[in-house]
Amino acid sequence: MSFDVVASSRVEQRKVTAGRHLLATGIQLGVVGAFLAIVGILSMFNNRPIIVGILTLGYATLACIPLAAGILVARRGLYPNAVHRVAGGLAAGTIAMAIIALLPVVMSLVNLRSIFVALDQPLLKMLTFELTPVAAGIGCLLVFGMVLGCLGALLAMLPRRIRRPLVGGIIGSGIAGLFQELIRPILANSSVTKPLHDLLYTWSGLKLQGAVIMFLVTLAAVLVWDMNRPRVAAAFGRLDPGTQRRIRWGYITLAVLLAVLFPMYAGNFIGQVLLTVGLFILMGMGLNLEVGIAGLLDLGFVAFYAVGAYVTGLLMADSPFALAHLSYWQAMPIAVLCSVIVGVMFGVPVLKVRGDYLAVATLGLGEIVRVIVLSDAAAPLLAGAKGILQIPRPAIGSFEFDTPVALFYLTLVASLVAAYFAWRLEDSRLGRAWMAIRDDEDVAQALGINLINVKLLAYGLGAAFAGLAGSIFAVMLGTIYPHSFQLIISINILALIIVGGMGSLPGVVLGAAVLIGLPEMLREFGEFRYLFYGIAIIAVMRLKPEGLWPSAARRREIALDAETAAAQVASIREQKA
């Protein structure tokens, strides 16, 4: 909040001219484009077709740079009329492409591959559109920037009722081409959808007519929705609360049915992705109890996940380290109970610790578990770095959960049960006590809340969700290694509840889908997918600081902070006047 006030006052002091903003926008986006080329992202993207024989992901990414420059310049509102806005977009797009054009100039004169491996001949051909001489390609690159900068400015100036359908159509075509490796097998595997596959795709990618069809369909869908949304909202508002609640539950039921049926047609790869997302949803709901509702920042949460996995493995594995040979349905409750016990044990040393110190303390406790598992002292029991092997899959009678799709359904049922308990806990007396200590521990204690009991229950119940996820994880892999339980898992879980919305169960689901599901879809891009992961987090935090699907309480807090900041800025302006 104080940052917003300081930032606003500084904007008041510094006058931003149209020329300065235009130049800064073009340079910044041009540097971003050059960075993408130097590190090899553009070259990698250029191998991924969006429209077969016409457009690759590399050229689409390159086109977004001047297009974004034109949009940002036109939306700033520093220009007196439309002609100046278009001229500004043209200039910004040209500046951005001029910076990127420096790369082929330098590459044609000096061999830089000893320093930057990605600056090779394929990249030079891409940036020059495979034209010879290089000067002709550089000229085309500049014209490319000028045209797209103008289009970006024109797009920003269009009325919202026209711009939204156009953008929706472009996004629809882009998704159909970008995720074609996911969509094509789904359409091709069914005799019902095979004609649609042949209409939109070849076996090598999206057809031009498929891209046009997806553009028109998405454009029409957005247009129809925008035209009817006010009437739908008004009609929904006139309904009584009971009917509104039933409609919402109908949407939830439909979403669950789609989640149940989709993996049957999507195959094992999608089943594996959804299974991974489901495990993080389970852990996210547990950490949400601790962080989102009780306000107890826990960076050692992965330890409970590891406890659930190891206990399951020790009770089920067909190996010398097994303590017993139980079925999964016997081992899983014991694993959850052990996770609860460890969660309470973790809570005891940090009862008096708050804030950043609590995060550091829990981080240390989580690392203690990892070190113990890897140690030689515990190797006779936990197998050390060798891990626990030959963990059988769950079974009900003759049916065995031996595929990712079958295990996804197990995870889905576990997630639904866990979500019900988390929802009831949030609305219970205990949930209100957690919210009270999150807001102010001293006031909560003065009101008669037993801080020790409430905190230990938060750690224990949160650990139960992680233990359940770890139990499923153990039978999913069939093996357990200490390196599967790194600190990055705790950070990922914390990130998904922040991005989804603190204290919000739907936010946990949405955050897991965005931060866990999408990177899995981008696994083919190797280590670069973590770069996109970071960009997505920054974008969400910048555009929606309250999260993608925040709780009602979080919305009120953000609104109150914004009102307070606005009041302070107004007060500063009055004092200056």
pLDDT, tens digit (0-9, with 9 covering 90-100), for 347-384: 898 888 887 788 888 888 888 888 888 888 888 888 88
**Euclidean distance between CA atoms 312 and 302, whole angstroms:** 16
In the predicted structure, residue 91 carries a pLDDT above the cut 90: yes
Measured in residues, the chain has a length of 577
**Euclidean distance between CA atoms 60 and 62, whole angstroms:** 5
Name which residue leads in pLDDT, 544 or 576.
544
Nearest CA to 123 out of 58, 57, 212 is that of 58
Question: Which distant-in-sequence residues (6+ apart) come within 8 Å of 38 by Cβ?
Answer: 103, 116, 118, 119
pLDDT for res 567? 78
In the predicted structure, residue 13 carries a pLDDT above the cut 60: no
Q: Which two tokens stand for residue 574?
A: 């009055």
**Residue 164, class by beta-carbon neighbours within 10 Å (0-12 exposed, 13-18 middle, 19+ buried)?**
middle
For tokens 């052990």, what's the residue?
338
In this prediction, residue 8 has a pLDDT band, given cuts at 50, 70 and 90, of: very low
List the beta bridge partners of residue 192. Answer: none
**Euclidean distance between CA atoms 42 and 57, whole angstroms:** 8
Q: Which two tokens stand for residue 119?
A: 């600056």
Give first-to-last CA distance, the chain, whole Å. Answer: 23
In the predicted structure, residue 67 carries a pLDDT above the cut 50: yes
**Euclidean distance between CA atoms 457 and 429, whole angstroms:** 12
DSSP per-residue codes, 258-292: HHHHHHHHH-HHHHHHHHHHHHHHHHHHHHIIIII
Q: Indicate the helix (H) or strand (E) that contains 327.
A: none
Q: Which two tokens stand for residue 271?
A: 């089943």
**Would you state the torsion angle of the CA atoms of residues 60, 66, 69, 73, taken in this order, to the nearest 10 degrees?**
-130
**pTM, two decimal places:** 0.80
